[in-house]
Amino acid sequence: PSSKLSEDKDNYYVEIDLPGIKKEEIKIEVEENTLRVQGERKEKKRVQEAKQHFSEVFHGTFTREFLLPAAIEKEGIKARYEEGILIITVPKSSKSKAHQVYIE
């Protein structure tokens, strides 16, 4: 599925297009700084006599992995699913945030 990874100073944001998939059929896992999204898009039954010329619709299982550039706070990860788009917010670890050092 199509996806986008972006960030601001506090979070990473992952957006994945998953139209036609129920949220109960999506599994999200985190290991170290790797975010893994798995699921399955089931093929809907069509008219038996219909002749298909081509299809750009993906059916079957999928796994997408995102290697995040820095340490993350696993406990603060949030996910929401709106209109076929899965949006995952991953907070950056305080260890990975920039820290300004002042000269005395």
Span 12-30, average pLDDT: 92
Range of the domain at 27: 3-43+56-91
Which CATH number covers residue 75? 2.60.40.790
* Assigned domain for 101 exists: no
* Assigned domain for 104 exists: no
Using CA atoms, how far apart are residues 35 and 67, in angstroms rounded to an integer? 7
**Summary mean pLDDT of the chain:** 86
Span 6-35, average pLDDT: 92
Residue 99, pLDDT score: 62
* Assigned domain for 78 exists: yes
* Assigned domain for 9 exists: yes
Instruction: List, for residues 48-78, the tens digit of each pLDDT value.
Output: 677 777 776 677 889 999 999 888 888 899 9
DSSP-assigned letters across all residues of 35-75? EEEEEEEPPPP--TTPPP-------EEEEEEEE-SS-B-GG
* Assigned domain for 49 exists: no
* Assigned domain for 14 exists: yes
- What is the band of 47 on the pLDDT scale with cuts at 50, 70, 90? low
- Number of domains, the chain: 1
Q: Determine if the pTM surpasses 0.85.
A: no
pLDDT higher for 21 or 52? 21
Span 75-92, average pLDDT: 93
Question: Residue 98 pLDDT more than 70?
Answer: no
* Assigned domain for 51 exists: no
* Assigned domain for 99 exists: no
